[in-house]
Amino acid sequence: KNEVEQSPQNLTAQEGEFITINCSYSVGISALHWLQQHPGGGIVSLFMLSSGKKKHGRLIATINIQEKHSSLHITASHPRDSAVYICAVRSYNTDKLIFGTGTRLQVFP
């Protein structure tokens, strides 16, 4: 079983829909990252969080440390949001990032 599990693996949506991507992890962590991988391959850091909730534009990330679960929400989705979204956790023991396999999101007009 992977230490970081994301769901769903693939997600399609119509423009304007509310999107939720989930991340569950099984190790102790000092931080959780959400990353966006563009269709061209580049990876961009979206959020780092260790508790609570963060918001940036139409993106919201939440984390529940007790339940070892995080969600990434996209409000009013747009075709330009189409990308792979990757959850990564900073292991408390090793200080290294452990990556999920990603969620591929396609938003259609």
The Cα-based distances of 91 to 4, 28, 59 in angstroms read: 11, 6, 24
- CA-based R_g, the chain, Å: 13
The separation between the first and the last C-alpha atoms of the chain, rounded to the nearest angstrom, is 36
- DSSP run (H or E) holding 86: strand 83-91
**Binding of another protein at residue 88 (CB under 8 A)?**
yes
**Binding of another protein at residue 86 (CB under 8 A)?**
yes
Stretch in the footprint of another protein (CB under 8 A) among 16-24, 51-59, 66-74, 92-100: 92-100
Rounded to the nearest whole angstrom, what is the least distance from the CB of residue 15 to another protein in the complex?
27
Binding site for another protein (CB under 8 A): 2, 4, 30-31, 33, 35, 40-45, 48, 50, 86, 88, 90, 95-102
